[in-house]
Structure 1
Amino acid sequence: MSTGDRDEQMWNRVIALHAQVEQRLTAVLQRTHGLGLSEYRALGFLDAAPDDELRMQELANLLGLNQSSVTRLVGRLDAAGFAHRDLCPDDRRGVYTVITPAGRERYLAARDSYRATLGSALDDAPEGPALRKALG
């Protein structure tokens, strides 16, 4: 078997593990906290950001989303009262997303579920323990 074949097989296992873990995380967050996975991650990035805000483009880059997807995501967070948009005072074209107290509360309430589910999903996956050891 060539190196290319092994690399491709390894990559396919990583993709399969990623999909399995994401499915479990999505189910728990939605069922328990009423959040989608991207919404949870956005709130996490906003919670960790200086001044609790990020430019829309920064948030899109952190989430791996395009501009229109992050706009829809922030719209959902805004409608739920978890974040709001704010114009940059120095550059009126710049738009920030700012986490609200309710958004921080929801994120913190969901974080333990997310972490517990992530840990158990990795432990349950055949590749999980080996991956942890390799990265560890």
Structure 2
Amino acid sequence: MSNDEDSWGRLLQLHTRVEQELAKALQRKHGIGLSEYRALGKLAAAPKGELRMQELAEAVGLNQSSVSRMVARLEERGLSVRDLCEDDRRGVYSVITEAGRARHAEVETTYRTTLTAALDKAGADPALAAAIASVRTA
């Protein structure tokens, strides 16, 4: 195995561990998925609180059909709404609601606390220590 392959493998291992910890904590404590939380964060940070569906898909790393299902779940909970683009009726936006902003803010502390704890835990593994150091100094 090359050095690049070995390094990449450790990075993937770190990513998997941290993502699993985040997903479990958000689901257990708040009943929200990790992608849903991230989507709300991207929408909250966007101008006017809205993104085209394709932009949202790219921002959270999902394909078009997965982001459509995720947005449907957010809409069912009143956390976002869909809106047609005025300039191009084929374009559809996802728009965060005030309830969505409040939900994101409510979950944010759990996300941050869990992220720090997951990185600390992974950092105890000597094979991942360099990757953790790299992430934390970037």
Give the structure-1-normalised TM-score: 0.92
Root-mean-square deviation over aligned CA pairs:
1.3
Q: Which residue matches 1:92?
A: 89
Give structure 1 stretches of 5+ with no counterpart: none
Identity of aligned residues (%): 56
Q: Which residue matches 1:43?
A: 40
In 2, distance between residues paired with 1:20 and 1:133? 16
**How much has 1:133 moved relative to structure 2?**
3.0
**How much has 1:132 moved relative to structure 2?**
4.2
**How much has 1:63 moved relative to structure 2?**
1.1
Give the one of 112, 120, 128 matched to 1:115.
Answer: 112
1:40-70 residue CA offsets vs partner (Å, 9 max, x unmatched) = 0000000100000000000001111111111
**How much has 1:134 moved relative to structure 2?**
2.6
Structure 2 CA distance for partners of 1:17 and 1:133, relative to 1, 3 Å: closer
Indicate conservation of the 8 Å contact 1:25/1:37, yes or no. Answer: yes
Return structure 1 stretches of 4+ with deviation > 4 angstroms: none
In 1, distance between residues paired with 2:48 and 2:132? 33
In 1, distance between residues paired with 2:88 and 2:4? 46
Give the one of 44, 54, 58 matched to 2:55.
Answer: 58
In 2, distance between residues paired with 1:129 and 1:49? 34
Give the secondary-structure state (helix, strand or coil) at the position aligned to 1:103. helix
**2:121 is the counterpart of 1:124:** yes
Indicate conservation of the 8 Å contact 2:10/2:131, yes or no. Answer: no
How many aligned positions are there? 133
In 1, distance between residues paired with 2:10 and 2:79? 35
Indicate conservation of the 8 Å contact 1:84/1:98, yes or no. Answer: yes
**2:4 is the counterpart of 1:7:** yes
